[in-house]
Amino acid sequence: MANRYLEIFCREAEEHLASLQSGLLVLEKNPARTDLLHELLRNAHTLKGSARMVGLADISAITHTMEEQLKGMERGERKVDAPAIDLLLRGADAVALITSALMRGTTPELDVERFVAEYERGELGQHISAEPKEAQPEAHADTVRADVKTLDHLVNLVGELIINKKRLEAKLERLKEIGYALPDQHAAELATFRGELEEDVLYLDYLIQELHGKAMGLRMLPLRTISDGLERLVRDLAQQLGREVQFQIVGQAIEMDRVLLEGLKPILIHLLTNALSHGIEAPDARAAAGKPRRGTVLLSARHQGNSVLVEVRDDGRGMDPAGIKAAAVARGVLDPREADAISDEEALYLTFRPGFSTAEIVTDVSGRGVGMDVVKKNIERVKGSVTLSSEPGSYTQVTLQLPLTLSVLDALIVACGGETFAIPTTYLQEIVKVRAGEIDTLGSGEVIKVRGATTPLYSLPGMLGLPERRDAGDAPLSAVVLKHCDQRIACIVEAHLGYSEVVVKGLGKQFRNVRFLFGATILGDGNPALILNVPDLFEAGRGVQRAPLSAEEVQAAQRRLKVLVVDDSITTRTMEQSILVSQGYQVVTAVSGEDALEKSAQEQFDLVISDVEMPGINGFELTRALRSTDQYREIPVIIVSSLSRDEDKRQALQAGAQAYIVKGAFDQGLLLETVQMLIG
Amino acid sequence: MGDDNSYDIRTILTQMREEYWQALAEEESEAKETLECLVFTLGGKRYAFETHYASEVIRIPKLVRVPAVQSLIRGIFNLRGEITAAIDIRPMLGLPQPEIGPTGRILVVRGDNFATGILAEAAHGVQGLCFDDFEPVAAGSGIKTQFLRGHFSLEEGSVILLDMEALLADPELVAGEA
């Protein structure tokens, strides 16, 4: 979370806290003034929403409880007396403590977790004012702090060492050749010398391996560091969706590169959310199907060779291949003729295609039609692969295979178009020899049979736009068979030059948009070799058959789309605005429903994003008002709200909104994906 | 210290101020005279840019071609462990592209975002170019002037001063953005 947003939030919070405080004190003196309650409610509600936007779960939990208490008072179910007011004030105090600690960048002098839990139960519990903390025993006396940058630098230096060792090995080879050319007497002497040198290099190799292992180890963190938050996520989601779920985590101690773990977290959130919303059935439905009422979701991690396998498995309704095919056809992701040709197993992978979703409406929970697509993208980013397996009515299992680290890869070195490329072995199925006679034509492309399966055949230099050297005649060609998700392609290369452990180097900012490449490495001869980004090759392969965009589509893509953001909270407005602007949308903000109606009448927007609870007309009323005009009858509206009940979502849809995002689940990607799905 | 007679704060301050102004004046007069530039050949003509952009000049190592990028990125090379691009800026300046032979060099320059290597037909070292000989670029002179600041008319011919700020910020240098 950018500090900028936190700062805006803290400033906004100060205002709301001040008005909560003064309002509550007036109310305490005049309990009859229930007219004050509405304003207090709005303060608490806005604070809750903004806290969720910036990911401050504790503040959002506290203000949620305050909101519930105030609602109780408003409905007359709760007495407006001193203890009740006291409880509310304590909530406000706690929020003030947390925000001021945030501003200072320190930890609040409050056991926040305990406070939140007690506060939810309506217990006054601990006193907020300075409670001396128990002296923590110094458990980590034998550890030191290290800067992450220093660690990364250390790993890079070890990478340089490996490259240098490779150069030494290449020189040893050269020395052998020199020896052959010498007269026997000198050759013997040189051979002895070379033997000794070889031993030294071997020992150096051993030391570097050890050093590399230790250096990498410093960057490793256990899965536990990200799985703690997941339990809470599953619990909250289960409650929200009315599911009974037992969540198990196996292999919390499995360690992975910090960078990889960071990439893994959003993937797991996505998969678990899917497991709960699409997988696990409602308790009654489960009972009717003869299953235990309580579903099980299992997250497990284990080592396999040089990689980590992470599995998310649920014993829910499973994935129905026929349903998926039908949905894919209905959404235009798949041609009806293609659908018949697809096996049940392949059908599962259709869920990874962009624009696919089996859920009927767009909600914040899942079924945004972009979820699995994003999972796939994220896995590609960390050089992993994903497999799906499912039995309708019994289970769904998603298995992620991830490398232990991204800084060193096992790769196959190939020659292609006069250059040398490294292909990460995670994508490599096998190397085959192909004779011209074995190549068939299918449609506009060429195919070969690999173990009986028809596999598209491309020329790697051709795909990369490099000069091709394809000799006529029946000399066998070398091809590498690459796998990615459920797909296989074969690429012709000039030669394969063996396997090697390669140190991955970034290409730097000048190449940040480059296609086909994941990085570069430096070979034994000191020259760089490019590391191929295999998923791009699959894209390119598909692109061959795809029709080019029509002139209209191109024009539409070039026009900057205009979005109207309506929210009374400045935190929310600023966040949404900067998220959208960063993606090239043009954004206008409105502070209320009335303001929005005025602005939308003045200029045409392509999309409206609105909060629900605002002073004046609310988001639902705004949506209805927009729908009643010719200008905005068809324009998509996204409701972003901290109201998470199904009833609210229904209301939003009845009012004519296309999507509903709950602020609690708010993240930048979610908003963007939804916006992109609606208006591109 | 402590001896009041030998310690006159006024005199010391005056002295310091004078020294300060003098130093400033010296700096200014020096800067007025010459501009430290790296001089090299592009498209048969002599070009230059201020030395502070240059981090080193090297012989051309093996360049590895990068697929699917614009043609001005001629390849990448290993600069002591850093993967660095070699770029041919001659088309950006509207210059012919004679073959780069054994005198060819790579001028490694550091911009705000990245370091990159400019291919040159030859490098002639660092020269102090006199401002008195400088003429700013004339508008509408027909040639591509976007990346030029002007030229120095020297006895041995003219040297064109590149606008490195503009050149290095140009999106055409970034792969996939041209």
- Tell me if residue A60 falls in helix, strand or coil: helix
Handedness of CA A82, A88, A94, A97 (dihedral sign): negative
The dihedral over CA atoms of A28, A33, A38, A41, expressed in degrees to the nearest 10, equals 10
Is A233 in contact with A272 (CB distance < 8 Å)?
Answer: yes
Encoded tokens for B149: 């600041």
Reduced to 3 states, what is the DSSP secondary structure of residue A500?
Answer: strand
**Cα nearest neighbour of B87 on chain A:** A510
What is the helix (H) or strand (E) element at residue A44, kind and residue range? helix A35-53
B66 and A514 within 8 Å at the Cβ level: the answer is yes
Q: Do B81 and A522 touch (CB under 8 A)?
A: yes
Give B91-116 pLDDT, tens digit per residue: 999 899 999 999 999 999 988 888 99
Q: Find the closest chain B residue to A162 by CA distance.
A: B81
| Burial bucket for residue A664 (CB in 10 Å: 0-12, 13-18, 19+) | buried
Nearest Cα to Cα of residue B159 among B40, B52, B55, B51: B40
Angle at B98 between CA B93 and CA B102, to 5 degrees: 120
ipTM: 0.78
Q: Which residues of B touch A163 (CB under 8 A)?
A: 81
Segments making up each domain of chain A, as ranges: 3-120, 148-220, 223-403, 408-543, 555-679
Per-domain residue ranges for chain B?
34-173
Would residue A326 be called left, alpha or beta, if left means φ above 0 and alpha means ψ between -120 and 50 degrees? alpha
A49–B contact, CB cutoff 8 A? no
List residues bridging with A442 in a β-sheet: A445
Counting one residue from chain A and one from chain B, the pairs whose CB atoms sit within 8 A come to: 83
Residues in A 147-186 with any Cβ partner in B closer than 8 A = 160, 163
Contact list in B for residue A160 (CB cut-off 8 A) is: 81
Q: What is the pLDDT of residue A471?
A: 59
Other CB atoms within 10 A of residue A154 CB: 17
- Alpha carbon distance A465, A477 (integer Å): 19
Task: Output the CATH code of domain B34-173.
Answer: 2.40.50.180
pLDDT on residue B12: 82
Confidence of residue B88 (pLDDT cuts 50, 70, 90): very high
Sheet containing B73-79: order of strands: B54-59, B105-110, B115-120, B82-87, B73-79
CB atoms < 10 A from the CB of B62, how many?
12
Q: Work out whether strand B157-162 and strand B45-50 pair parallel, antiparallel, or are unpaired.
A: parallel
Measured CA distances, B40 to A230, A441, A483, B154 (Å): 60, 53, 49, 14
Chunk chain A into consecutive blocks of 10 residues (it has 680) and report each block's average pLDDT, rounded to whole numbers. Answer: 69 84 84 83 85 83 89 85 86 88 79 83 56 42 72 80 85 89 87 91 89 80 81 83 89 82 83 86 91 92 82 90 82 78 82 63 39 74 83 90 78 90 90 86 82 88 80 76 85 88 82 86 83 87 46 49 88 81 81 89 88 87 89 87 78 83 68 78
Q: What is the pLDDT of residue A470?
A: 58
Cβ <8 Å between A507 and B174: no
Mutate to test the interface with A, among B78, B108, B109 (most CBs of A within 10 A): B78
Q: Is B82 on the interface with A (CB under 8 A)?
A: yes
Nearest CA in chain A to B77: A528
Q: What is the pLDDT of residue A185?
A: 85
Q: Which residue of B has its CA nearest to A519?
A: B83
The pLDDT tens digits for B115-160 are 999 999 999 999 998 888 888 887 655 556 789 999 999 888 899 9
CA atoms of A320 and A376, how far apart (whole Å) = 20
Distance CA A134, CA A119 (A): 21
Q: Do B68 and A506 touch (CB under 8 A)?
A: no
CATH placement of domain A408-543: 2.40.50.180
What pLDDT is attached to residue B178? 47
pLDDT value, residue B45: 92
What is the rounded distance in angstroms from the CA atom of residue A363 to the CA atom of residue A278?
12
- Please report, for residues A324, A341, A543, B155, the alpha-carbon distance to residue A336 in angstroms, rounded to integers and kept in the order given: 12, 9, 20, 77
Instruction: Give contacts of B167 with chain A, Cβ < 8 Å.
Output: none
Sort out which chain B residues have CB atoms less than 8 A from A166's CB and list them: none
- Return all residues near A584 (Cβ < 8 A) that are at least 6 apart: A560
CATH superfamily of A223-403: Histidine kinase-like ATPase, C-terminal domain (3.30.565.10)
User: DSSP assignment, residue A475?
Assistant: P
Nearest to B76 among A420, A466, A520 (CB): A520
Interchain contact, A514 vs B81, CB within 8 Å: no
In CATH, what number does A3-120 get? 1.20.120.160
Homologous superfamily of domain range A555-679? Response regulator (3.40.50.2300)
